[in-house]
Amino acid sequence: MAQELISIKDIGRKYVIGAETIHALKSVSLSINKGEFVALMGPSGSGKSTLMNILGCLDTPTKGEYILNGINVSEMTDNDLATVRNQEIGFVFQTFNLLPRSSALDNVALPLVYAGVKKEDRDSRALKALENVGLGNRVDHKPNELSGGQRQRVAVARALINNPSIILADEPTGNLDSKTSVEIMSLMEEIHAKGNTIILVTHEEDIAQHAHRIVRMRDGLIESDTLNKNIKSVSARLKEMA
């Protein structure tokens, strides 16, 4: 039986700016099971970024309930949310968000610093994570010595370092060329095949087609939530590009 990992019920998020109230999310209910690969789509202003921030415990809802891996995170303090983020969620951002003066190894090990893991253990785990994404020969390189695709691989390794419940990927191919985008999606497919849960936020239809389920948003609501009957694998993309 499928194990529910995320359950959000009647989630709303409003922002008060001066005299105006903006309802970024009106009423969103969604459940995601362990091991799913979900794409979250929608035009600018649809609420997808707000929903991603709430799913990633970067923001709290104005109303509704969010249960993540059995934990009610909707009413947590900022400190408690920071702990949940570190333990439960691996982030991959469009802009990589790497520390420019730190090596690939130190960037990947960073979440383990916050988790209080000893340096020796941190380094050995970070090295293994880099080897798993094909960068075992780049451990001492700083971000400016790596290509865009390599930087995103470092970010993916960092996202996986704590064995999180979810990988939350926000436009992970947004800054990459077509060939490198395919490489990163290949990596995402490998990660998913190992049993990881992935939520992929994208506005690119061809990237979303790699997911097994596509949730589309509009005007702060879920417009549709469908299983993807034509999952596009990386091998199919490579044939198209050949």
pLDDT at 235 over 80: no
State the pLDDT at residue 143.
92
Domain boundaries, position 236: 33-60+76-241
Predicted confidence (pLDDT) per residue in 14-25, tens digit: 999 999 999 999
Rounded mean pLDDT, 96-105: 90
In a domain, 24, yes or no: no
In a domain, 20, yes or no: no
pLDDT at 242 over 60: no
CA 50 – CA 108 distance, rounded (Å): 26
In a domain, 160, yes or no: yes
User: Residue 168 belongs to a domain with what CATH number?
Assistant: 3.40.50.300
Predicted confidence (pLDDT) per residue in 29-78, tens digit: 999 999 999 999 998 889 998 999 999 998 889 999 999 999 899 888 88
Predicted confidence (pLDDT) per residue in 180-233, tens digit: 888 888 888 888 888 889 999 998 888 899 999 999 999 999 999 999 998 888
In a domain, 185, yes or no: yes
Rounded mean pLDDT, 158-184: 86
In a domain, 69, yes or no: no
pLDDT at 171 over 90: no
Q: Residue 20 is encoded by which pair of tokens?
A: 């105006």
pLDDT at 94 over 80: no
Question: Per the structure, how many domains does the chain have?
Answer: 1
pLDDT confidence tier of residue 241, bands split at 50, 70 and 90: low
Q: Look over the chain and give the mean of its residue pLDDT values, rounded to a whole number.
A: 89
Q: Is 174 exposed, middle or buried (0-12, 13-18, 19+ CB in 10 A)?
A: middle
In a domain, 8, yes or no: no
> Percent helix, strand and coil across the chain, each rounded to 5?
35, 30, 35
